[in-house]
């Protein structure tokens, strides 16, 4: 009898798995659920290459969920800076506190879904990888693999229900965590978006897309809508060797994080262009940044007047700006300003 899809994939994974700092070796007991959870939160919409140094820094600084729960939120947010999607960091703090209070992570998919920031995929992944539960784990890599394996013609995102149903049919009872990670590795290294390596694929004999000679056509996707483009201004105010930083509002983009002052731009509206101080302002260029639902063009203006800001904010030494935990957008703006001669 021919091996099943799961048998073929797991045999391939035993030899070709990626070695990652949050993973146990194939067939070995799962690592600490804290490390699995932390890695899965970091990996949401972020590449493995980008996550590795953050994961290693976080686990060195906060090696347990109790240690993370005891950390000041501002320290966690600063350590997260540059990783993007900052609501993940705020949910990280909330979840750590809940788990520390309860004494352990819940070990079922349903209970995991009740934790802040854990959707269907993340809860299923943690249940399978950390606790060995049989769970249907579907991320973007799995969507691509399963769409090709079954040649699903319905376009994304409508096809997600069908993809989940088909993934259910091939998910084994045993080694659920290894199977989930094997699907991820297959999608990231073999069944890639472009130029899939079909000759190296352990599922090639079962793949309907390969049989059709059009594997790259799958998954079929609906036409994308253009993102709106927002415009705003960031203000660089420097006194001696320090720059003026403010704390962002508690809701909205980069909520609660340190940043350069700006003119109130948001995901829904352009900024006002109102300058925070009277006097001379000089535009020194701009930076662009892509968000999930919009793109931003941010002009950077440098203050050349004599008035100094008052109220909520802090003077931060420019030679220590890397320690301020600025979001990537404002770090770009700061680098642009620092490149200008005084």
Domain CATH number, residue 103: 1.10.340.30
User: Which tens digit of pLDDT belongs to each residue from 44-94?
Assistant: 989 999 999 999 999 999 999 999 999 998 899 989 988 888 889 999 999
> Does one domain contain both 212 and 237?
no
Catalytic residue among 28, 40, 109, 275: 40
Is 235 within 8 Å of 261 (Cβ atoms)? yes
**Dihedrals φ, ψ of 281, to 5°?**
-120, 140
* Residue ranges making up the domain that contains 55: 5-217
> Does one domain contain both 105 and 197?
yes
Q: Give the domain CATH number at 317.
A: 3.90.79.10
**Cα atoms in the Cβ-side hemisphere of radius 13 Å centred on 310:** 3
Short-list 157, 202, 197, 160, CA closest to 183? 202
Q: What does the DSSP assignment read for 24-89? A: PPTTSPP--HHHHHHHHHHHTTS-HHHHHHHHHHHHHH--SHHHHHTS-HHHHHHHHTTS--THHH
Q: How confident is the model at residue 1 (pLDDT cuts 50, 70, 90)?
A: very low
CA–CA dist 164, 143 (Å, integer): 8
pLDDT over threshold 80, residue 247: yes
Per DSSP, what are the bridge partners of residue 247? Answer: 258
> Does one domain contain both 179 and 245?
no
* CA 255 from centroid of its chain's CA atoms: 16
Using the 3D structure, point to which of 190, 217, 244 is the last residue of a domain: 217
CA–CA dist 266, 271 (Å, integer): 7
| Terminal alpha carbon distance of the chain | 75
Look up 28 and say whether it is catalytic: no
pLDDT at 2: 53
pLDDT over threshold 80, residue 294: yes
Short-list 171, 144, 177, 130, CA closest to 7? 171
223 in any annotated domain: no
pLDDT over threshold 90, residue 296: yes
pLDDT at 85: 85
> Does one domain contain both 187 and 244?
no
Q: What is the mean pLDDT of residues 19-31?
A: 90
* Helix/strand/coil for 290: strand
What's the number of domains the chain is made of?
2
Using the 3D structure, point to which of 217, 242, 275 is the last residue of a domain: 217
Using the 3D structure, point to which of 151, 185, 217 is the last residue of a domain: 217
> Does one domain contain both 175 and 243?
no
User: Which tens digit of pLDDT belongs to each residue from 268-277?
Assistant: 999 999 999 9
**Dihedrals φ, ψ of 317, to 5°?**
-55, 130
User: Which tens digit of pLDDT belongs to each residue from 314-327?
Assistant: 999 999 998 898 99
Is 95 within 8 Å of 117 (Cβ atoms)? yes
> Does one domain contain both 145 and 248?
no
User: Which tens digit of pLDDT belongs to each residue from 121-149?
Assistant: 999 999 999 999 999 999 999 999 999 99
Q: How confident is the model at residue 226 (pLDDT cuts 50, 70, 90)?
A: confident
pLDDT at 147: 98
333 in any annotated domain: yes
* CA 13 from centroid of its chain's CA atoms: 25
> Does one domain contain both 81 and 188?
yes
Q: Which residues contact 77 (CB under 8 A, 6 or more apart)?
A: 86, 89, 90, 256, 257, 325
DSSP 198: G
> Does one domain contain both 209 and 236?
no
User: Which tens digit of pLDDT belongs to each residue from 178-208?
Assistant: 999 999 999 999 999 999 999 999 999 999 9
224 in any annotated domain: no
């Amino acid at each position: 009898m021919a091996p099943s899809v799961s048998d073929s994939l797991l045999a391939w994974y035993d030899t070709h798995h990626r070695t990652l700092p949050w993973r146990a070796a194939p067939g070995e007991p799962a690592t600490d659920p804290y490390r699995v959870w932390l890695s899965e939160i970091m990996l949401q919409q972020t590449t493995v290459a980008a996550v590795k140094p953050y994961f290693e820094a976080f686990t060195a600084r906060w090696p347990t969920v109790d240690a993370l729960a005891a950390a000041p939120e501002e320290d966690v947010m600063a350590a997260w800076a540059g990783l993007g999607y900052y609501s993940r960091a705020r949910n990280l703090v909330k979840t750590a506190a809940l788990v520390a209070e309860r004494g352990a992570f819940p070990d079922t998919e349903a209970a995991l879904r009740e934790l802040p920031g854990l959707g269907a995929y993340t809860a299923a992944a943690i249940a399978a990888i950390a606790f060995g539960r049989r769970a249907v784990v579907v991320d973007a890599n799995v969507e691509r693999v399963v769409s090709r394996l079954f040649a699903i013609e319905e376009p994304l995102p409508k096809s997600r229900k069908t993809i989940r149903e088909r993934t259910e049919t091939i998910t084994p009872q045993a080694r659920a965590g290894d199977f989930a990670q094997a699907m991820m590795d297959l999608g990231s290294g073999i069944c890639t978006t472009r130029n899939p390596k079909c000759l190296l694929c352990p599922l090639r004999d079962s793949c309907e897309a390969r049989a059709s000679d059009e594997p790259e056509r799958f998954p079929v996707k609906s036409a994308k809508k253009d993102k709106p483009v927002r415009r705003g201004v960031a203000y660089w105010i420097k006194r001696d060797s320090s720059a003026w930083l403010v704390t962002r509002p508690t809701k909205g983009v980069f909520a609660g994080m340190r940043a350069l002052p700006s003119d109130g731009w948001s995901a829904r509206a352009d900024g006002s262009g109102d300058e925070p101080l009277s006097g001379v302002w000089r535009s020194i260029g701009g930076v662009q940044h892509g968000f999930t639902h919009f793109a931003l063009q941010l002009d950077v203006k440098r203050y050349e007047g004599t008035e100094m800001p008052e109220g909520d904010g802090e003077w931060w030494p420019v030679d220590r700006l890397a320690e301020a935990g600025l979001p990537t957008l404002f770090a770009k703006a700061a680098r642009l300003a620092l490149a200008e001669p005084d």
